[in-house]
């Protein structure tokens, strides 16, 4: 979708640029073609959406969620989340390695809780990465 305009969003803690994206059949010029998706707003001038103009936001919308590579990464991620949930359950609601944990933070500000959760997930991903590296090293030595 083509970018119709952009603005600075002040409604979140971190100000960021957002863009208004318009229907390519109407913007920048009307093509006269019918909407292939039969969108409900086609008669009103086409569909519009607002999203962040950062590269990460665009990539999220452009992902091919039906590709095999995406499915593989998604299954790894959901398996990791199941392990974390199981570990939280077995340790009585708290991870073994972090006092306070994700479930019941002992911090007051939302930004402090967000920072703590980010560090927790970085640590979990780092541990998972080390396990994968160790497993690959094992497999390369046995071959």
**Residue ranges per domain, the chain?**
3-62, 68-142
Q: How confident is the model at residue 87 (pLDDT cuts 50, 70, 90)?
A: low
Cβ count within 10 A of residue 19: 20
Name the residue with higher pLDDT: 95 or 47.
Answer: 47
Write the pLDDT tens digit of every residue in 121-141.
888 888 889 989 998 998 888
Q: What string of DSSP letters covers 67-114?
A: SHHHHHHHHHHHHHHHHHHHHHHHTTTS-TTSSSTTTS----SHHHHH
pLDDT by residue (tens digit) across 38-55?
778 777 878 888 888 888
Q: Which two tokens stand for residue 112?
A: 């402090």
**Of residues 53, 58, 49, 48, the one with CA closest to residue 15:** 53
Residue 104: what pLDDT?
A: 63
Residues in the chain: 143
Q: How high is the pLDDT of residue 99? A: 43
Per-residue confidence (pLDDT) for residue 110, from 0 to 100: 79
> Confidence class of residue 14 from pLDDT cuts 50, 70 and 90?
confident
CB 26 within 8 A of CB 45: yes
Reported as a pLDDT band with limits 50, 70 and 90, residue 68 is: very high
Q: What is the pLDDT of residue 98?
A: 46
In this prediction, what percent of the chain has a pLDDT beyond 70? Answer: 83
pLDDT 10s digits, 117-126: 788 888 888 8
User: The whole model's pTM is what?
Assistant: 0.43
Average pLDDT, the chain: 78
């Amino acid at each position: 979708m083509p970018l119709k305009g952009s603005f600075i969003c002040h409604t979140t803690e971190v100000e960021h640029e957002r863009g208004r994206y318009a229907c390519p059949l109407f913007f920048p010029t009307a093509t006269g073609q019918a909407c292939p998706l039969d969108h409900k707003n086609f008669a009103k001038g086409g569909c519009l959406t607002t999203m962040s103009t950062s590269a990460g936001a665009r990539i999220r919308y452009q992902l091919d969620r039906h590709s095999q590579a995406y499915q593989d990464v998604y299954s790894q991620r959901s398996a990791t989340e199941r392990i974390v949930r199981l570990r939280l359950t077995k340790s009585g609601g708290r991870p073994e390695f972090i006092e306070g944990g994700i479930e019941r933070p002992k911090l007051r500000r939302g930004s402090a809780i967000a920072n703590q959760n980010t560090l927790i997930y970085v640590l979990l991903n780092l541990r998972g990465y080390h396990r994968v590296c160790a497993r690959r090293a094992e497999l390369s030595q046995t071959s």
